[in-house]
């Protein structure tokens, strides 16, 4: 007999079925025992007489007959509430010990460190399972939509080169070239621009990104996922139209209960956003208590540079007065290029932030494709010749015919957190790091063995306890 899923039992009335799953709940009434069986599809109530003792969350196998429940006992809260399975054969495949954390609620009242330690149990709760399944539907929709728009999905390297892009890099020692280090990518920024030089024209990737920066509710420590998009021969308007169309249709198909407040999405300059809302991530919802209202907008016309004090200089660039507001590859507004020499503080960048309900859920820009302009930007942010050499591969590639190009990179985690109304991005990630940088379930980071360090040519300096 083939296995039947819980939700399929409603269509199997008066038939014998084989169920396999977890004992979601056990209610022993002496001679009669009720067991709710849970699998990936949902739950169904099973009832039997003189069953062996079983603990909740044990893995069980049941053979039985599907029957209709009496009308007054129908459970309208679940999909299978009109039926139950009369148990004919019952086996315990794997018995569960008492759970260290409860999994019957939403879990938000449980200390997060405990939830992350037992994440494989935490993910059994219906809210977390729903979040991961909606994440899967979101990514599958994105791939289908962009594929139909002639985009090519390209994977870019995880082991790459350390460059000063804004956040701290995670570095990885090389065994074959001792004393040298790889960096994990903060984003595929340079590779996707090189793909435009390569003539791909339309690229995307569901990209893992790594940044050693302090965690926040809307930003995970260590690693996160973004939808990375880059296009050639486009204007900023083309980029905004593509992303707006993608996410509007995504919401309609994957989150049909949600309502987008305004379409087309409003366009707001950064200056107007700060003056009117006091934030460049404005929350434009009419009713902030309405969980189904989605207020998207674009914030544009950011300054290309931010003025900084010497103590805040950009990654060792000396006492440079300017730092890039977005990143160093963002193109200046065509009308403001001449101001690079006379008044850099007034130069607008072709940057665009995708804002949803008060969160920046994505950002991007039109990129610099003129090597002379790129060199000028490097000078303004105080890059030394040595620092410029870290980007020599980019400048060299740009000497061989680079098309105008730009893109956008919505954060998958942050978008889902916002749409689902979750309090943290960690609620939509399977195995996130804790705020202290410890990986869920695993005891990571951990010490490396002496033999491993010796092979890499690394010695660890440990301070002795006084």
Residue 309's Cβ-count burial label (10 Å; 0-12, 13-18, 19+) is exposed
Partners of 298 in beta bridges: 267, 354
Beta strands in 218-304 (DSSP E): 222-232, 259-260, 267-269, 293-294, 296-300
Rounded Cα distance between 3 and 149, Å, is 39
Q: Classify burial at 97, counting beta carbons within 10 Å of its beta carbon; exposed 0-12, middle 13-18, buried 19 or more.
A: exposed
Helical residues (DSSP H) of 44-148, grouped into ranges: 112-117, 119-122, 126-148
> Tokens standing for 324?
């890039």
Phi, psi of 429 (to 5 degrees): -115, 145
- According to DSSP, residue 104 is labeled S
Helix 126-148, helix 412-420: angle, nearest 10: 120
Predicted pLDDT at 152 = 98
Phi-psi category of 165—alpha, beta or left, where left has phi over 0 and alpha has psi -120 to 50?
alpha
Cα gap 15→85, rounded to integer Å: 10
Structure tokens at 137: 């539907």
> Phi and psi for 408 in degrees, rounded to 5?
-155, 150
Token pair 């899967």 is at which residue?
136
What distance in Å separates the CA atoms of residue 131 and residue 133, rounded to the nearest whole number? 5
Contact 434, 113 (CB under 8 A): yes
Q: Are 331 and 293 in contact (CB under 8 A)?
A: no
Output phi, psi for 430, to 5 deg. Answer: -70, -55
Among the listed residues 164, 212, 181, 195, the one whose alpha carbon sits nearest the alpha carbon of residue 378:
164
- Cβ neighbourhood burial of 237 (10 Å; 0-12, 13-18, 19+): exposed
Contact 257, 179 (CB under 8 A): no
What backbone phi and psi angles, to 5 degrees, belong to 327?
-150, 170
Mean pLDDT by groups of 10 residues along the chain of 466 residues: 97 98 95 96 96 96 97 95 97 97 96 96 97 98 98 97 81 94 94 97 97 85 95 98 98 98 97 97 95 97 83 51 85 92 92 97 95 88 84 89 97 98 96 90 92 92 64
Could you give the domains of the chain? 6-94 (2.40.50.140), 115-302+349-369+404-428 (3.30.930.10)
Measured over the CA atoms of residue 158, residue 161, residue 167 and residue 173, the dihedral's sign is positive
Judged by phi (left if over 0) then psi (alpha if -120 to 50, else beta), residue 175 lies in alpha
Kindly report the length of the chain. Answer: 466
Which residues have C-beta within 8 Å of that of residue 91, sequence separation ≥ 6?
60, 61, 62
What's the first-to-final CA gap in the chain, in angstroms? 68
Separation of alpha carbons 348 and 350, rounded Å: 7
Per-residue b or e along 151-165, where b marks 16 or more CB atoms closer than 10 Å to that residue's CB:
beebebeeebebbbb
**pLDDT score recorded for residue 386:** 83
Cα–Cα distance between 343 and 200 in angstroms, integer? 36
3-state secondary structure of 4: coil
- Where do we find the tokens 């700060």? 274
Partnered with residue 203 across adjacent β-strands are: 152, 230
According to the model, what pLDDT value does residue 165 have?
Answer: 63
CA distances from 304 to 334, 359, 442, 466 (A): 12, 21, 42, 50
Q: Which of 438, 418, 443 is nearest to 428 (CA)?
A: 418
How much is the pLDDT for 172? 95
> Which contiguous run of DSSP H or E holds residue 211?
strand 202-211
CA separation for the pair 187, 409 (Å, rounded): 9
Cα(385)–Cα(376) distance, integer angstroms: 12
Q: DSSP 3-state assignment of 366?
A: strand
> Could you check whether the bond before residue 264 is cis, i.e. omega within 30 degrees of 0?
yes
């Amino acid at each position: 007999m083939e296995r039947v899923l819980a939700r399929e039992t409603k269509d199997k009335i008066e038939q014998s079925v084989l169920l396999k799953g977890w004992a979601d709940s056990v209610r022993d009434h002496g001679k009669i025992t009720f067991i709710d069986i849970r699998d990936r599809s949902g739950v169904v109530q099973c009832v039997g007489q003189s069953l062996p003792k079983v603990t909740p969350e044990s893995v069980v196998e049941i053979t039985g007959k599907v029957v209709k429940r009496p009308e007054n006992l129908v459970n309208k809260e679940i999909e299978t509430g009109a039926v139950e399975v009369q148990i004919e054969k019952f086996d315990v495949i794997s018995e569960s010990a008492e759970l260290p954390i409860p999994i019957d609620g939403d879990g938000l009242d449980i200390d997060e460190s405990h939830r992350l330690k037992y994440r494989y149990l935490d993910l059994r709760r219906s809210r977390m399972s729903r979040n991961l399944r909606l994440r899967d539907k979101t990514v599958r929709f994105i791939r289908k939509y962009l594929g139909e728009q002639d985009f090519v999905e390209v994977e870019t390297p995880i082991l790459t080169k350390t460059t000063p892009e804004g956040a701290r890099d995670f570095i990885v020692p090389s065994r074959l070239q001792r004393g040298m280090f790889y960096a994990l990518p903060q984003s595929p920024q340079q590779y996707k621009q090189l793909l435009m030089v390569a003539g791909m024209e339309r690229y995307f990737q569901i990209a893992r990104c790594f940044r050693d920066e302090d965690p926040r509710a809307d930003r995970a420590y260590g690693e996160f996922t973004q939808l990375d998009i880059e296009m050639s021969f486009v204007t900023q308007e083309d980029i905004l139209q593509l992303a707006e169309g993608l996410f509007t249709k995504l919401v309609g198909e994957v989150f049909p209960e949600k309502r987008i407040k305004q379409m087309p999405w409003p366009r707001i300059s950064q200056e107007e956003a700060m003056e009117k809302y006091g934030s460049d991530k404005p929350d434009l919802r009419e009713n902030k208590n309405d969980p189904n209202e989605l207020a998207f907008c674009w914030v544009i016309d950011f300054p290309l540079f931010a003025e900084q004090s010497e103590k805040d200089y950009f990654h060792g660039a000396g006492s440079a007065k300017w730092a890039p507001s977005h990143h160093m590859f963002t193109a200046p507004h065509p009308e403001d290029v001449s101001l690079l020499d006379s008044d850099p503080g007034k130069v607008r960048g072709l940057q665009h932030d995708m804002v949803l309900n008060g969160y920046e859920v994505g950002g991007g820009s039109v990129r610099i494709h003129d090597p002379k302009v790129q060199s000028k930007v490097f000078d303004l942010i105080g890059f030394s010749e040595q620092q410029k050499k870290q980007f020599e591969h980019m400048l060299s590639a740009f000497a061989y015919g680079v098309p105008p190009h730009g893109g956008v990179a919505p954060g998958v985690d942050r978008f889902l957190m916002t749409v689902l109304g979750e309090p943290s991005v960690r609620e939509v990630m399977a195995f996130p790091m804790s705020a202290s940088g410890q990986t869920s379930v695993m005891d990571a980071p951990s010490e490396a063995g002496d033999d491993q360090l010796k092979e890499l040519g690394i010695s660890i300096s440990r301070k002795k306890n006084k």
